[in-house]
Structure 1
Amino acid sequence: MIKVLVLIDYSTEFSRRFLDGLIQYAQEMGQWSFYRLPVYYKNIHGEEGVIAWAQKWEANIIIAQWNYMSLESLQKLQIPVFLQNYKEEGKCFSNITGDYTGMGAMAAKFFIQRRYNNFAFYGNKGFIWSRERAEGYRREIEKIKGNYYYFESEDLNDKQWEHTHTQLEDWLISLPKPVAIFACDDSFAIQISEICKLNNINIPKEIALLGVDNDRLICNLSDPPISSIILDA
């Protein structure tokens, strides 16, 4: 029996599709046993708590979203470690990733075909998948000598929400219109949609908005609904 410790949040559409694919693979390959540590456990007990649990359960594999800079504790386990979209590439683990540069290029081509001249990207600060999407997007825009604008923020918590929200609002208002905006994912896209609603900025006439993940719940909360790229999981 292969014991797989899973530390992945179920809240995003991509994560749910990824876990569904993982379960299907496990069923085809044989005897796998999964144990999912809830998000609150990682938040309360930190990386050492996660490592202690992995040792107690005698996990054979860890598949995780890892928010800590240090990877030394994971190395000490001496078992295969797979990290979903870790901030940087690493030698002591396998990074579960995708063609994010290509995805950015796809988004740019979508807008270019619709003859936009102004393009913007709204990214998640400090994450390699967001940077690569922005890079692929920017490269295609440079080819046609389009106008490119960039803004990034962290996932917003209670303390930083008001400050970053104000900065994002100022940035959106300052953009030349019409403008095509590619958001790094749907949760960032809906931030743009909500600010546009508060400031009477028309979507799609003034801002064309595209997200990633095709999270139907998030996309349909927006008015109008957010168009989104579907990821292969």
Structure 2
Amino acid sequence: MLLDLTMAYDRTLVPGIWKAARGFGGIEFLLLDGFTAKTLALIDRLKPEGVIAHIDDLSIGAFLQERGIRIVDVSDRFARARFPRIVSDDLEVGRWGARHLRERGFAHYAFCGFTSHHFSDLRGRGFAEQLASENCTASTFASPASRSSRSEVRDLQFEKLCDWIRGLPKPVGIMACNDNRAYHIIEACHCLGLRVPHEVAVLGVDNDEIRCEMAAVPISSIALNTQRIGHEALCLLVALLDGHPAPDRPL
């Protein structure tokens, strides 16, 4: 398993993978955290037959493919599936978020995501489609999920987020594409002096207990069935290793 254990999504996949492994004999697992030079060197040394991986960098997928390693991707970063993939139903996640906020009686809605992240696009689309079916509209905002160490880059993106939130009609219900994005919204509201949830209600995705509880106001979040995704990912990997063809679409 080649996962990013700083992410709640990846961490919660692991129990489902382990549970599924009990149904198969002779499977040996190694859990590798992150895509570092040390990790990739270890893969070269161990020569695994298959990998369950969170592919958010196509060069990692290429590295594995060049070595003939079977891959099951558990991310939904890219629109076109380059590898066999098990993912959540992100359109439905967005729809569920819209229904949740509608039930709480808001008149104004918004979605906040990341650019160049397919899962974010799908959740935003599902959110907007559900609201449109109820004759409502939503404001949208997206910016890069920058991991830059340069403070000026981070500050500029945060300033743009603050400007967007400042301009929204209040009270407003905002769905974030995930809990990291929800955390950014809470921080922005704190800087703007906006009361959460009275003026701005925030809904995240992933139910990352650490991230949700670290926020100035605890974040409500949609919990995904990641254990099921982990279980299905292992079953698919075993099928590929047994010679079955890869599915022609994400599962």
- Contact 2:111/2:141 (8 A) holds in 1: yes
The residue matched to 1:96 in structure 2 has which SS?
Answer: coil
Quick one: which amino acid aligns to residue 83 of structure 2? F
Quick one: which amino acid aligns to residue 217 of structure 2? P
Quick one: which amino acid aligns to residue 19 of structure 1? V
Matches within 5 A, 1:74-85: 74-85=64-75
Matches within 5 A, 1:1-233: 6-39=1-34, 42-44=35-37, 50=40, 53-70=42-59, 71-90=61-80, 92-157=82-147, 158-159=149-150, 160-233=153-226
1:68 and 1:15 map into 2 onto residues whose CA distance is 15
2:197 and 2:18 map into 1 onto residues whose CA distance is 39
Matched with 1:3 is none
Mean alpha-carbon deviation: is it higher for 185-194 or for 218-227?
218-227
**Residues 78, 186 of structure 1: alpha-carbon distance in 2 compared, 3 angstrom cutoff:** same
The residue matched to 2:212 in structure 1 has which SS?
Answer: helix
Quick one: which amino acid aligns to residue 159 of structure 2? T
- Contact 2:56/2:75 (8 A) holds in 1: no
CA RMSD of aligned residues (A): 2.0
2:79 and 2:45 map into 1 onto residues whose CA distance is 28
Matched with 2:244 is none
Segments of structure 1 that go 5 or more residues without pairing to the other structure are 1-5
- Contact 1:85/1:128 (8 A) holds in 2: no
Quick one: which amino acid aligns to residue 10 of structure 1? L
Whose strand proportion is higher, 1 or 2?
A: 1
- How far did 1:190 drift? 0.9
Quick one: which amino acid aligns to residue 99 of structure 2? K
Aligned residue pairs total: 222
1:198 and 1:229 map into 2 onto residues whose CA distance is 25
1:143 and 1:35 map into 2 onto residues whose CA distance is 46
Q: Identity over the aligned pairs, expressed in percent? A: 27
Segments of structure 2 that go 5 or more residues without pairing to the other structure are 227-251
- Contact 2:204/2:219 (8 A) holds in 1: yes
Quick one: which amino acid aligns to residue 136 of structure 1? G
- How far did 1:124 drift? 1.9
1:153 and 1:27 map into 2 onto residues whose CA distance is 42
User: What do residues 185-229 of structure 1 show as CA deviations (whole Å, max 9, x unaligned)?
Assistant: 111101111111121101111111100111111111223211111
- Higher RCO structure, 1 or 2 (CA under 8 Å, sep 6+): 2
**Residues 205, 98 of structure 1: alpha-carbon distance in 2 compared, 3 angstrom cutoff:** same
- How far did 1:44 drift? 4.2
- Contact 1:75/1:92 (8 A) holds in 2: no
Q: TM-score, normalised by structure 2?
A: 0.81
Quick one: which amino acid aligns to residue 29 of structure 2? F
